[in-house]
Amino acid sequence: MKYKFYGLPLHYGADSIGINYGIDELKKELQKKKADVIEKIEVANEQENGHLKYIKYLNSITKSCTTLAEKVNQTVKNDQIPVIIGGDHSIAMGSISGVAKEKEIGVIWVDAHGDMNTHETTVTGNIHGMPLAALQGYGHEKLVNIFYNGAKIKTSNVVIFGARNLDYREKLFIEQLGIKIVYYRDIVSNGFKQEMRQAVNYLLERVNKIHLSFDLDVIDPNFLPGVSIPVEGGISVAEADYLFDFFIQNNLLSSVDIVEYNPMFDSNHVTRDFVIHLLKKFK
Ligand SMILES: [Mn+2]
């Protein structure tokens, strides 16, 4: 098998119920089709410091991501491509750390949000708004030092793609660091394919392989409602489909996350079935 699938039903990073049922929901449906390929990783439930309102569930998230990083790292050493299904987006601190220990990678962060907050800028205290900052070495030291100490990815190797809902201070931080960002409005103005190819070319000038971190909320919730934080607007299902096909067919991937599937907000299983449709592309 070229690909190895992990499921980590972590919901602490979003601090919202529902995401924790996502992996079981996917596995149940895949089992019906005798196609269950997902290895489920149990979420850690650690003792937490309830006073840390600006960085909630820090210990459980750190522990869960470390377990994931160890598994992903072994997968990369076995020359397989890890595909990780969430869980909320904080799982990317585990998946990317596991890959980055072995090779320099680019990251395309496909998301309605920036996930570039730290415990010092966050409004909600939810860690799923912080993983992209932590992976570059910014934020709480426990998050920055998941799996091994320090930054996992270079800022110049990152593209945020499809953003349409950034916090004010988060936006300033992105600009200050000079992260390449393609806003949803750029996609509307210039076309999806052109913006995507430009983002890919930018990364391929710097690295050979790319980690695709795909937050389902980048897609318009009118098409795909089963996400934890729906934001108005967004790319179409067909565009997301094209993006996955492009990365797979051009052999660009080091690794993949698919995150924030929330069956409690789904409508007629459309989001579940789309995730399964995406998973089938990896063979
Ligand atoms: Mn996200």
- Res 52: pLDDT: 84
* CB burial readout 130-154, b (16+ within 10 A) else e: bbbbbbbbbbbeebbbbbeeeebbb
The C-alpha torsion from 14 through 276 and 221 to 250, rounded to 10°, is 100
Arithmetic mean of pLDDT over the chain: 97
Give the range of the structural domain holding residue 50, as residue numbers without chain letter.
Answer: 3-280
In this predicted structure, the answer to whether residue 72 has a pLDDT above a threshold of 90 is yes
Whether 79 is a known active-site residue: answer no
Q: Which of 11, 25, 88, 89 is catalytic?
A: 89
| Residue 260 among the catalytic residues | yes
Catalytic annotation on 89?
Answer: yes
Q: Is 217 a catalytic residue?
A: yes
- Binned at pLDDT 50, 70 and 90, residue 266 comes out as very high
Query: Exactly one of 11, 25, 113, 239 is catalytic; which is it?
Result: 113
Note if 24 is an active site residue. Answer: no
Q: State yes or no: is 220 an active-site residue.
A: no
Domain count of the fold of the chain:
1
215 CA to centre of ligand 1 in angstroms: 5
Mean pLDDT on 253-274: 98
Q: At what angle do helices 22-32 and 270-280 cross, to 10 degrees?
A: 70
By the 8 A CB rule, do 265 and 228 touch?
Answer: yes
Catalytic-residue membership of 51: no
Q: For residue 19, what is the DSSP state?
A: G
Confidence of residue 51 (pLDDT cuts 50, 70, 90): confident
Q: Give the CATH number, domain containing residue 108.
A: 3.40.800.10
9 and 86 in contact (C-beta within 8 Å)?
yes
Q: How far apart are CA 182 and CA 223, in angstroms?
A: 21
Ligand 1 mean position to 146 CA, how many Å?
A: 18
User: Given 215, 220, 257, 266, which residue is catalytic?
Assistant: 215
Residue 1 has pLDDT above 90, yes or no: no
pLDDT of 225 higher than 90: yes
- Asked if residues 228 and 260 have their Cβ atoms less than 8 Å apart, the reply is yes
128 has catalytic annotation: yes
Active-site entry in 11, 25, 88, 111:
111
Closest to 65 measured CA to CA, from 119, 111, 12: 12
Q: How many CB atoms lie within 10 A of CB 87?
A: 34
Q: How far is the CA of 17 from the centre of ligand 1 (A)?
A: 16
Three-state helix/strand/coil letters over 112-179: CCCCCCCCCCCCCCCHHHCHHHHHCCCCCHHHHCCCCCCCCCCHHHEEEEEECCCCHHHHHHHHHHCC
Name the H helices within 1-112: 22-32, 58-77, 92-100
CA–CA distance, 252 with 282 (Å, rounded to integer): 13
Secondary element (H or E) of residue 87? none
Is it the case that residue 158 has pLDDT exceeding 90? Answer: yes
Whole-number Å distance, alpha carbon 34 to ligand 1 midpoint, is 30
**Is the whole model's pTM more than 0.85, yes or no?**
yes
Percentage of residues in the chain having pLDDT higher than 70: 100
Say if strands 210-215 and 38-40 run parallel, antiparallel, or are unpaired: unpaired
pLDDT range class, residue 183, cuts 50, 70, 90: very high
